[in-house]
């Protein structure tokens, strides 16, 4: 391998980017091919749009989650954030790509009777009577043009936050103390702005797939899921980078303890929100709420629900309680990657059961193929951004000194 591919930092950026690009191409080809097979079911266009939405929703979690964690770090400080900062900034810098990936979601809203969004279809085909009247009322806000415009506005706001944080961070690293003071000043309002925009985005893009169901807990669940994904990804990436110059030796057991503890905290928040929503709806036993969970607890989906309880909460909760696991780089990396995988399963579990699927054909392979395609493109963009970033801890380097050689 040439020195140009490895780069000055000892990281094989070129090889990693080629692998990511190959995954993107292969995933896209497989996805398109599967759309013309029986796996796509009797409504292949709707299934393709739904699978793409699953993949888009998952990969959107990483840059937005990293953006939130970055703002939390600028408000709270800590050595853990010093090591994660390049990864967080580079991940947040991929939002322009996600804006491009949002275009097929807009197209899916305009497919008429083939759209995965009931409010985007001819309403007379979806409901009748008083239910039709209710849907027509909701169509004032839920219509393709208005939802698309709102989506672009959300992205522009997130892009502005990410740009300012990255721009001022670069100036801060160059010695501009004024820029350094701006970072926490923006992060506080930025978290509030994120909370508002992600609430509407969760309703527009995901919750409205079932327009007759509503939950005030869903947007917080959507948001904390993004934070879990973003933090798990940043932890895994930092752990991998810590094994190569210039971060080799900088990741110490105390840093890993902080990362493991924070990941555990975010997982507990996610579990609390999810359980609260389920408990309130099940106890309320309302006819317009309970069917949402009945779809996800029948027809084989109940096993996915059990898997989420075990692998999204119980297993990582017990593992991250152990100090030895948090201080061991390989163990922490395995837990973080496991959380990322189960996050994809969770996104799939929220979206796919909204539509009836006949038989037991593995239609979820379309979701996996779409996720690999979008993930390969996202990873290639992320690596290109990270390659140009400064990985060496600049501020508070005394908190990140490499371990002394034995």
Tokens found for residue 103: 């275009």
Judged against a pLDDT cut of 50, whether residue 398 lies above it is answered with: no
- Identify the pLDDT of residue 396: 55
pLDDT band at 214 (very low <50, low <70, confident <90, very high): confident
Average pLDDT over residues 325-338: 95
Judged against a pLDDT cut of 70, whether residue 406 lies above it is answered with: no
Tokens found for residue 277: 């929503």
> What phi and psi values does residue 348 have, to the nearest 5 degrees?
-60, -40
Exposure b/e, 47-67, CB count within 10 A at least 16 = b: bbbbbbbbbbbbbbbbbbbbb
pLDDT band at 282 (very low <50, low <70, confident <90, very high): confident
- Is 270:312 a contact under the CB 8 Å cutoff? yes
How far is residue 113's CA from residue 315's CA, in Å, rounded to a whole number? 42
Average pLDDT over residues 216-228: 96
How far is residue 301's CA from residue 61's CA, in Å, rounded to a whole number? 23
**For residue range 365-375, what is the model confidence (pLDDT) as tens digits?**
999 999 999 99
Average pLDDT over residues 334-339: 97
Judged against a pLDDT cut of 50, whether residue 344 lies above it is answered with: yes
pLDDT band at 99 (very low <50, low <70, confident <90, very high): very high
Average pLDDT over residues 190-198: 97
- % of the chain surpassing 90 pLDDT: 66
pLDDT band at 6 (very low <50, low <70, confident <90, very high): very low
Q: Which residue has the higher pLDDT, 250 or 28?
A: 28
Tokens found for residue 355: 């539509």
**H helix or E strand, kind and range, residue 317:** helix 315-320
pLDDT band at 8 (very low <50, low <70, confident <90, very high): very low
43-57, 186-200, 219-233, 344-358: the lowest-pLDDT one:
344-358
- Identify the pLDDT of residue 306: 95
Average pLDDT over residues 220-237: 97
**For residue range 70-88, what is the model confidence (pLDDT) as tens digits?**
999 999 988 888 889 999 9
Question: pTM of this prediction?
Answer: 0.92
Tokens found for residue 186: 């923006």
- Identify the pLDDT of residue 184: 94
Tokens found for residue 130: 């008083």
Average pLDDT over residues 137-149: 90
How far is residue 101's CA from residue 397's CA, in Å, rounded to a whole number? 37
How far is residue 201's CA from residue 204's CA, in Å, rounded to a whole number? 5
- Identify the pLDDT of residue 355: 87
Judged against a pLDDT cut of 70, whether residue 10 lies above it is answered with: no
Average pLDDT over residues 114-137: 81
- Identify the pLDDT of residue 4: 40
322 secondary structure, DSSP code = -
Beta-carbon neighbour count of residue 344 at 10 Å?
20
What's the gap between Cα 60 and its chain centre? 5
| Interhelix angle 218-241/44-76, nearest 10 degrees | 70
Average pLDDT over residues 176-202: 94
Tokens found for residue 278: 């389920």
Cβ neighbours for 186, distance < 8 A, ≥ 6 positions apart: 71, 74, 161, 164, 165, 168
Q: Which residue has the higher pLDDT, 62 or 1?
A: 62
Query: DSSP characters for 251-298?
Result: --HHHHHHHHHHHHHHHHHHHHHHHHHHHHHHHHT-TTTHHHHHHHTS
Cβ neighbours for 11, distance < 8 A, ≥ 6 positions apart: 241, 244, 387
Judged against a pLDDT cut of 50, whether residue 117 lies above it is answered with: yes
Q: Is the dihedral of CA 61, 66, 71, 77 positive or negative?
A: positive
- Is 381:95 a contact under the CB 8 Å cutoff? no
- Identify the pLDDT of residue 5: 44
Q: Which residue has the higher pLDDT, 287 or 355?
A: 355
């Amino acid at each position: 391998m040439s020195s140009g591919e490895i780069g000055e930092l000892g990281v094989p950026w070129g090889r990693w980017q080629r692998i990511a690009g190959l995954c993107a191409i292969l995933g896209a080809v497989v996805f398109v091919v599967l759309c013309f097979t029986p796996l796509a079911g009797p409504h292949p266009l709707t299934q393709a749009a739904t699978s793409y939405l699953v993949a888009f929703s998952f990969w959107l979690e990483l840059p937005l989650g990293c953006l939130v964690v970055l703002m939390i770090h600028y408000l709270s400080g800590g050595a853990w954030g010093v090591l994660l900062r390049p990864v967080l900034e580079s991940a947040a810098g991929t939002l322009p790509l996600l804006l491009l990936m949002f275009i097929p979601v807009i197209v899916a809203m305009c497919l008429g009777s083939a759209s995965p969004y009931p409010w985007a279809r001819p309403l007379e085909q979806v409901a009748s009577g008083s239910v039709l009247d209710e849907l027509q009322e909701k169509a004032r806000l839920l219509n393709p043009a208005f939802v698309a415009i709102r989506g672009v506005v959300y992205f522009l706001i997130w892009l502005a936050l990410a740009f300012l944080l990255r721009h001022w961070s670069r100036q801060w690293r160059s010695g501009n103390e004024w820029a350094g003071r701006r970072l926490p000043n923006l992060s506080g309002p930025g978290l509030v702005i994120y909370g508002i925009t992600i609430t509407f985005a969760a309703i527009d893009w995901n919750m409205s797939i079932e327009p007759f169901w509503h939950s005030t807990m869903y947007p917080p669940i959507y948001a904390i899921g993004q934070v879990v994904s973003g933090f798990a990804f940043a932890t895994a990436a930092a752990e991998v980078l810590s094994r190569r110059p210039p971060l080799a030796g900088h990741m110490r057991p105390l840093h890993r303890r902080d990362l493991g503890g924070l990941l555990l905290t975010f997982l507990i928040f996610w579990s609390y929100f999810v359980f609260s929503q389920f408990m309130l709806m099940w106890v309320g036993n309302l006819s317009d709420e309970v069917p949402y969970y009945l779809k996800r607890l029948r027809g084989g989906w109940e096993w996915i629900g059990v898997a989420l309880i075990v692998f999204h909460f119980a297993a990582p909760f017990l593992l991250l309680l152990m100090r030895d696991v948090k201080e061991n780089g390989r163990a922490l990396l395995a837990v973080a990657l496991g959380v990322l995988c189960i996050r994809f399963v969770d996104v799939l579990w929220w979206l796919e059961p909204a539509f009836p699927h006949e038989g037991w054909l593995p239609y979820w392979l379309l979701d996996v193929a779409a996720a690999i395609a979008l993930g390969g493109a996202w990873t290639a963009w992320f690596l290109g951004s990270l390659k140009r970033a400064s990985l060496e801890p600049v501020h508070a380097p005394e908190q990140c000194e490499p371990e002394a050689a034995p």
